[in-house]
Amino acid sequence: MTVFGWHASHEQIAPTALLDAVVRAEQVGFDAAMSSDHFSPWSERQGQSAFAWTWLGAAMQATSLPFGVVNAPGQRYHPAIIAQAIGTLGAMFPGRFWAALGTGEASNEHITGDDWPRKEVRNARLRECVDVIRALLRGEEVSHDGLVRVDRARVWTRPPEPPPLVGAAVSVATARWCAEWADGLITVNAPVPHLREMIDAYREAGGRGRLHLQVHVSWAPEEETAEAIALDQWRSNVFPPPACWDIDTAETFDAVSAHVPIEQVRQSVQVSGDLARHAALLAEFADLGFDEIAIHHVGQEQAAFLDAFGDKVLPQLRSAA
């Protein structure tokens, strides 16, 4: 049966409000939680971007949910620091944590002052980071000289079993590449044929582990309000690669998205005031074989969404399973 989780968007919501929301998510029936990890929001209207790893410790203590986070080691984060963070959460909350690793976006990584590498270099850097993190979580002392450098690092506090390292992908080619090293795959909502092709590419290349999907939704009792929320909060997030990777400030995202129409936002966000429609699309994604679906309401106010989905949508999904 597919696990349905709630996504914590640090770019949009202050951490204290997110903590209240994840507690409420568990109370209304969500099975899991997932966290973003940004230094910058996608828009000045979103207006937040707290440190995810601090929040994860508080949220995991406040709930009994399993958690995942999407992280980009290699520039803003040294891989040894990420291994230490993963090891600590894994030791404190055994069996409840996974980390998805990706190549990142310039909007978060440019703060180091280093050049933003080409995509193929970012892929190679991530691959090195994965090997470093795995070795450290096995308890090995690691030295490495490459696109990342490590000198005699050792992670002393670790869980009995290393948490899964999941590959983050939005393209078929990247999904196939993730199969070389990942313990699972995560992607975002897209047309069903594309998602099916990604799953097939990952599995046919030998990909193991669980399949995760993040789904962006906008719900309000009135369709017009759901549209207004999506347009206000998510129109800066509709650009495909390489734009979404290479734009480096919230101000630039706002400038290039100033005239994005709601029709374009609807291609990235499931916008509807009809809870049955939301349930039907989520069920269609579950039927593709995703083991866990994290639902992200793109609005800044979460309480009404959580209550409505907990009362109407989650029971429909479970009764149909």
Burial (CB count within 10 angstroms: exposed 0-12, middle 13-18, buried 19+), residue 134: middle
With cut-offs at 50, 70 and 90, classify the pLDDT of residue 284.
Answer: very high
Once rounded to an integer, what is the mean pLDDT over residues 170-183? 97
Query: Residue 321 pLDDT more than 70?
Result: no
Q: What is the pLDDT of residue 24?
A: 98
For residue range 81-110, list pLDDT tens digits in order. 999 999 999 999 999 999 999 999 999 999
What is the longest distance spanned by two Cα atoms in the chain?
Answer: 58
Count CB-CB contacts under 10 A for residue 89: 22
* pLDDT of 244 above 80: yes
How far apart are alpha carbons 185 and 168 in whole angstroms? 6
The answer to whether residues 239 and 256 touch, using CB atoms and an 8 Å cutoff, is: yes
CA distance 142 to 133: 9
pLDDT class for 320, splitting at 50, 70, 90?
Answer: confident
pLDDT digits (tens, 9 = 90+) for 50-83: 999 999 999 999 999 999 999 999 999 999 999 9
In this prediction, residue 279 carries a pLDDT of 97
Interacting residues of 128 by C-beta distance below 8 A, sequence separation 6+: 74, 79, 144, 146, 147, 148
DSSP letter at 237 equals G
Six-digit token pair at 109? 């990584």
User: Which single residue is written with the structure tokens 């594309």?
Assistant: 194
Specify whether the CB–CB gap between 46 and 12 falls below 8 A.
yes
Portion of the chain with pLDDT greater than 90, in percent: 99
pLDDT at res. 225: 98
d(CA 35, CA 267): 22
pLDDT at 240: 92
Report the distance separating Cα 66 and Cα 3, nearest Å: 10
User: What is the H or E stretch that residue 262 is in?
Assistant: helix 262-265
**Structure tokens that stand for 23 in this block:** 């507690």
Q: What is the pLDDT of residue 319?
A: 87
pLDDT in tens, 34-43: 999 999 999 9
109-133 pLDDT, tens digit per residue, is 999 999 999 999 999 999 999 999 9
Residue 98 bridge partners (DSSP): 68
CA–CA distances in Å: residue 218 to residues 133, 231, 234, 297: 36, 10, 10, 5
Specify the pLDDT at position 153: 98
State the Cα–Cα distance between residues 69 and 56, nearest whole angstrom: 9
| Mean pLDDT across 276-305 | 97
Q: Which of 122, 88, 89 lies closest to 103, judged by CA?
A: 122
